[in-house]
């Protein structure tokens, strides 16, 4: 009987999970054929590292291909060659491996984000927070005129239908109307007021939403005073990637996807919880889209002055079920114990490099070389040997063969995907294509992911080369963190000397390598040459990582080459 066991950092009946349970009933359960497949041994581990899943690397090997082919369900077969292409060459615990299937079900791979304070993100509340905020925002700065129905005005402002108007009760007192006009103008910058003549000859104030052009011209003044501009919320999703959710929210709320930001993307075929921030969007409006979403829930709304940025997290908690394990209990326990004790090579996982027609790091490289037309072409390139015949693949094929943005966009049917945004932007250009301008229509986090992917590709290969050259021990010239920040808030490093090596002060777990970028310090041993050679081969210069376009100037970052999962637990079940 199929009875998979979850074992998390916090037990299944923890207080947080009890709070989550009633909130998640709206999520669709998987009742597809895959739920009826019998399973054999199951194994689970939790890894609270840097948001990068290396379970493929640690647990699976070539034997998996034969085992998975026997499954009744079509599952992506593990292929070691895909990892080798992006530099993932080494295991810390090489002799001890076993094979199995991950992500057979959405619930087999669960991810909870860990914020900058070290708190795990849970979905706890489905209440908006606009009532108190509006009172605080308006009462501190403006005087509410007498005989004004504040609640009626609030409800109108939060309405999703921007074509509506609201006529207040009749008011023939001109001075009083002036006070009301001023109050609304000061409190709700995206609302326009006027005076309406009623059928009986009396007058009343009428409220309407400013048109898009007016709002755009005053975009910095369309938010209530003293109300923080960023609404942070928890996003719970299942079988959807982060950007797919962002694009859908932008579509439903009639805003640009660039209004949203996040600390990191989460896996698609998984159940994940993370934080998102939205600029100049009321929590009531965000909450209102829940009823129109499937397998997505928004909650835990709070207004803050700062938006989330990529990297604003300390890690992720993973709960993973591995099915059809091809090993005995002793071998599984040995492998998991070694993983817990020795850790793993801290590679960036395959998800960092995408699944499109061209790997994301290749697109990032083209951008760094200012080859914008090439970058756009690669995003719009069909997957090789793909049997997909959907609108997206058809649109990509049209663009690749004709370079006709109008025809390709017409075939795509939607402008909310990355491909759709690019084709929509190109289609609007009347006098030749400006590929950089088209690229700028993508949300900033999307654009940065391609650049980060290239940095990750270089880093993976350099780490593998460093292990080839020096093994898993610190050597002279290696870098370690000092625990201090520079004036720009970046980690600073210290270079190991002969004395440090002799004293055994540092271990391999302290050694870091930089993601390539400007003003980065590189190891003085042979590893710097590895960086130089890889960048030169790609047409880039390690000493000139700044670009005339600020966005394309890479700042770099230090990252531990070996990592250990924290609070790791596992259980084997028949």
Higher confidence at residue 63 or residue 184?
184
**Does residue 384 share a domain with residue 458?**
no
375, exposed or middle or buried, with CB in 10 Å at 0-12, 13-18, 19+? buried
Radius of gyration of the chain from Cα atoms? 27
- Residues 291 and 183 occupy one common structural domain: no
Same domain for 274 and 166: no
Bridge partners (DSSP) of residue 322 are 43, 102
Q: Looking at 335-339, 356-360, 450-454, 558-562, which range is the least confident one?
A: 356-360
Q: Are residues 460 and 558 in the same domain?
A: yes
Total count of domains within the chain: 4
Indicate if 126 and 233 belong to the same structural domain: yes
Judge if 459 and 546 occupy the same domain: yes
Tally: H helices and E strands in the chain: 20, 17
What pLDDT is recorded for position 220? 47
Q: Which of 446, 464, 480 is the last residue of a domain?
A: 446
Q: Measured on CA atoms in the order 16, 17, 23, 28, is the torsion positive or negative?
A: positive
Strand 322-323 to 165-167 pairing: unpaired
Same domain, 490 and 463: yes
3-state SS assignment for residue 199: coil
**Over 70: is that where the pLDDT of 26 sits?**
no
**Which residue range forms the structural domain that includes residue 426?**
353-446
pLDDT in tens, 97-144: 888 998 899 899 999 999 999 999 999 999 999 876 655 444 445 678
173 and 256 both lie in a single domain: no
Confirm whether 241 is domain-assigned.
yes
* Rounded average pLDDT over 278-307: 94
Instruction: Evaluate if residue 446 carries a pLDDT over 70.
Output: yes
The pLDDT value given to residue 78: 60
pLDDT in tens, 68-85: 343 334 345 566 888 999
Could you give the CA distance from residue 51 to residue 151 in angstroms, rounded to a whole number?
43
- Average pLDDT (394-414) is 89
159 vs 467: which has the higher pLDDT: 467
Question: HEC states along 526-540?
Answer: CHHHHHHHHHHHCCC
pLDDT in tens, 299-324: 999 999 999 998 899 989 999 999 99
Among the ranges given (16-25, 202-211, 345-354, 500-509), the one the predictor scored with the smallest mean pLDDT: 16-25
Give tens-digit pLDDT for 369-387. 999 999 999 999 987 766 6
pLDDT on residue 133 = 60
Q: Is residue 46 part of a domain?
A: no
**Axis-axis angle for helices 418-428, 405-412 (nearest 10):** 140
d(CA 557, CA 513): 8
SS (H, E, C) 38-97: CCCCEECCCCCCCCCCCHHHHHCCCHHHHHHHCCCCCCCCCCHHHHHHCCCCCCCCCCCC
Q: Based on the domain organization, do 417 and 360 belong to the same domain?
A: yes
| pLDDT, tens digit (0-9, with 9 covering 90-100), for 464-479 | 999 999 999 999 999 9
Asked if 468 and 427 sit in the same domain, the reply is no
Q: Looking at the structure, tell me whether residues 117 and 165 fall in a common domain.
A: no
Strands (DSSP E) contained in 87-190 are 101-102, 109-114, 165-167
Instruction: Report the catalytic residues.
Output: 267
Distance (Å) of CA 83 to CA 11, 364, 385 = 33, 19, 20
């Amino acid at each position: 009987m199929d009875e998979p066991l979850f074992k998390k950092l916090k037990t299944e009946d923890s207080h947080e999970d009890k709070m989550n349970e009633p909130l998640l009933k709206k999520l669709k359960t998987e009742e597809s054929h895959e739920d009826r497949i019998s399973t054999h041994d199951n194994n689970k581990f939790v890894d609270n590292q840097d948001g990068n899943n290396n379970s493929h690397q640690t647990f699976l090997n070539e034997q998996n291909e034969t085992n998975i082919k026997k499954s009744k369900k079509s599952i992506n077969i593990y292929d070691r060659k895909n990892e080798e292409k992006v530099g993932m060459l080494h295991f810390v615990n090489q002799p001890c491996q076993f094979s199995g299937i991950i992500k057979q079900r959405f619930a087999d791979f669960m991810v909870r984000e860990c914020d900058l304070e070290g708190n795990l993100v849970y979905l706890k509340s489905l209440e908006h927070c606009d009532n108190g905020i509006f009172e605080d925002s308006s009462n501190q700065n403006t005087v509410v005129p007498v005989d004004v129905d504040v609640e009626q005005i609030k409800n109108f402002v939060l309405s999703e239908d921007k074509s509506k108007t609201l006529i207040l009760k009749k008011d023939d007192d001109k001075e009083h109307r002036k006070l009301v006009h001023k109050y609304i103008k000061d409190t709700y910058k995206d609302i326009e007021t006027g005076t309406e003549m009623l059928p009986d000859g009396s007058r009343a104030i009428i409220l309407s939403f400013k048109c898009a052009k007016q709002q755009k011209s005053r975009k910095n003044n369309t938010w209530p005073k003293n109300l923080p501009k960023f609404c942070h919320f928890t996003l719970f999703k299942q079988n959807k990637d982060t950007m797919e959710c962002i694009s859908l929210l932008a579509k439903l709320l009639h805003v640009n996807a660039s209004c949203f930001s996040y600390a990191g993307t989460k896996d698609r075929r998984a159940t994940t919880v993370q934080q998102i921030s939205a600029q100049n969007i009321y929590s009531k409006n965000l909450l209102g889209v829940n009823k129109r979403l499937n397998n997505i829930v928004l909650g835990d709304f709070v207004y803050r002055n700062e938006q989330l940025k990529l990297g604003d997290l300390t890690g992720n908690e993973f709960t993973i079920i591995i099915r059809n394990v091809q090993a005995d209990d002793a071998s599984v326990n040995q492998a998991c114990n070694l993983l817990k004790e020795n850790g793993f090579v801290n590679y960036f996982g395959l998800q960092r490099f995408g699944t499109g027609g061209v790997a994301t790091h290749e697109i990032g490289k083209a951008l760094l070389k200012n080859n914008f037309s090439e970058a756009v072409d690669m995003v719009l390139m069909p997957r090789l040997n793909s049997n997909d015949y959907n609108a997206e693949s058809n649109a990509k094929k049209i663009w690749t063969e004709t370079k006709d943005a109008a025809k390709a966009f017409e075939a795509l049917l939607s402008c909310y995907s990355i491909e759709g945004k690019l084709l929509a932007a190109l289609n609007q250009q009347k006098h030749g294509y400006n590929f950089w301008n088209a690229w700028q229509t993508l949300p900033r986090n999307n654009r940065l992911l391609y650049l980060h992917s290239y940095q990750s590709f270089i880093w993976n290969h350099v780490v593998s080369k460093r292990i080839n050259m020096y093994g898993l021990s610190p050597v002279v010239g290696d870098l370690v963190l000092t625990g201090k920040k520079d004036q720009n808030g970046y980690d600073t490093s210290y270079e190991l000397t002969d004395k440090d090596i002799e004293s055994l002060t540092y271990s391999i777990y302290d050694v870091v390598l930089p993601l390539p970028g400007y003003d980065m310090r590189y190891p003085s041993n042979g590893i710097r040459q590895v960086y130089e050679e890889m960048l030169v081969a790609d047409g880039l210069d390690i000493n000139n990582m700044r670009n005339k376009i600020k966005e394309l100037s890479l700042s770099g970052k230090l990252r531990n080459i070996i990592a250990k999962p924290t609070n790791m637990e596992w259980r084997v079940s028949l």
